[in-house]
Amino acid sequence: MIEYTYDGSLEGLFDILETVCGAAEPEAALPSHIRRAGGARGKGGAAETGQLELFDGETAVDSQPQRVFSVPASAEERPGVFPARALAGERPAVFSAAASAGEFPMQEPETLSSVALEFQELSADAFDRFVYGWMSELPIEAELIHFAWNVLAAGRRLPQGAGSPEARAAAEQVAADRGDPVTQRVLEAAYKVWKEIDRLRGLLRFSPNAAGIHIARCAPDHFVLPGLGVHFTLRFGETPWAIIDEARGLGLFRLPGEEARILGLEELPTGIADAPGAAQAGADPWGDPWEGLWQNYHRSVTNESRINPQLQRQFMPRRYWKYLPELREEEKE
């Protein structure tokens, strides 16, 4: 096995998968370890990223380009933009070439590498888990490549061919095999990301700034901003909004008539990154009328006789409380 270094981007991880699959002996080319180059994206280390290019962009990180997602320039000219597509179902569909429903930007088949496309066609679920695993920012890049290769190999080894129903069934079986420690670790990481995306849909608290842009703040454990774009685009319609990821120094931002974008905080329009916003840590809960509304709502719907602190912490973990105006006072206790 080989040790690889990559730039921390999803595209860079697919480059490694392409290298493995293109080797004369793929099993021998599988990574023993994958190291992120200095300055790669990660929690607490994104303050220098500037604009994070989700599409057709190369962002300077320590003077080195960082690729995250990419499409041809003809498909999308504006940097940092990903389409806000209709959400027809709850199943995440990352880079789905078959349908536009999903939580992530869709890439057409011609924009994916041949190996990535083969992977997606064999098992869309496995492809999604691969991307979620990368978004976890956990040091599991080597396991992700092993996982993807196992799925591809399961489909390729059948005489019916990789595109056959039998190949897809074999790939799905491998991708769901929790008895394999590599698969188990990938599935656990992917679930953590899915769970945090699902949680933040309900726990983000927005408040308008002076310009009428509704702002929420959070410090998620994982890189979940791309998974929140479609949901809040549909929820807010033509109302401008922004979600600030304070842990990574990034903001997910959308103006009416535009696509949602992920930007470095210094690249956000004036008055967003430094606005108090709903549930900003340490803010005065009565300094904003929207904060007061949340406090009043919480008190009015609370049934003191049915309070279950353990269940509350299960659905609303304490690490989120400082961003919840209705629970911030309890968080200080």
Do 160 and 253 lie in a common domain? no
Which ranges in 61-156 belong to alpha helices (H)? 114-122, 124-135, 141-156
pTM (two decimals): 0.74
Do 213 and 170 lie in a common domain? no
H or E segment at 192?
helix 181-203
Q: Is the pLDDT at 47 greater than 90, yes or no?
A: no
Higher pLDDT, 267 or 290: 267
Residue where a domain terminates, one of 195, 211, 246 = 195
Do 235 and 311 lie in a common domain? yes
Do 179 and 239 lie in a common domain? no
Contacts of 63 by beta carbon, 8 Å cutoff, 6+ apart:
none
Q: Is the pLDDT at 123 greater than 80, yes or no?
A: yes
Do 191 and 211 lie in a common domain? no
Do 208 and 276 lie in a common domain? yes
Question: Domain for residue 86, yes or no?
Answer: no
Do 313 and 213 lie in a common domain? yes
Total number of domains constituting the chain: 2
Do 205 and 263 lie in a common domain? yes
Question: Domain for residue 42, yes or no?
Answer: no
Residue where a domain terminates, one of 149, 172, 195 = 195
Question: Domain for residue 117, yes or no?
Answer: no
Which pair of structure tokens corresponds to residue 128?
């999604």
Over residues 127-170, the pLDDT tens digits come to 999 999 999 999 999 999 999 999 999 999 887 777 789 999 99
Closest CA to 200 of 214, 188, 186, 217: 217
Residue where a domain terminates, one of 139, 167, 195 = 195
Question: Domain for residue 108, yes or no?
Answer: no
- Please state, in angstroms and as integers, the Cα–Cα distance from residue 22 to each residue in 15, 30, 150, 152, 153, following that order: 10, 11, 15, 12, 12
Do 251 and 275 lie in a common domain? yes
Question: Domain for residue 95, yes or no?
Answer: no
Over residues 54-111, the pLDDT tens digits come to 322 222 223 232 333 332 233 333 333 333 322 223 323 333 222 223 344 434 444 5
Do 149 and 206 lie in a common domain? no
Question: Domain for residue 23, yes or no?
Answer: yes
Do 210 and 283 lie in a common domain? yes
H or E segment at 194?
helix 181-203
> Which residue range is the domain that position 276 belongs to?
198-332
Do 12 and 141 lie in a common domain? yes
Closest CA to 255 of 215, 286, 221: 215
Q: How far apart are the C-alpha atoms of 23 and 215, rounded to whole Å?
A: 48
Question: Domain for residue 77, yes or no?
Answer: no
Instruction: Name the band, by pLDDT with cuts 50, 70 and 90, for residue 244.
Output: very high
Question: Domain for residue 53, yes or no?
Answer: no
- Please state, in angstroms and as integers, the Cα–Cα distance from residue 133 to each residue in 169, 229, 243, 309, following that order: 22, 18, 22, 31
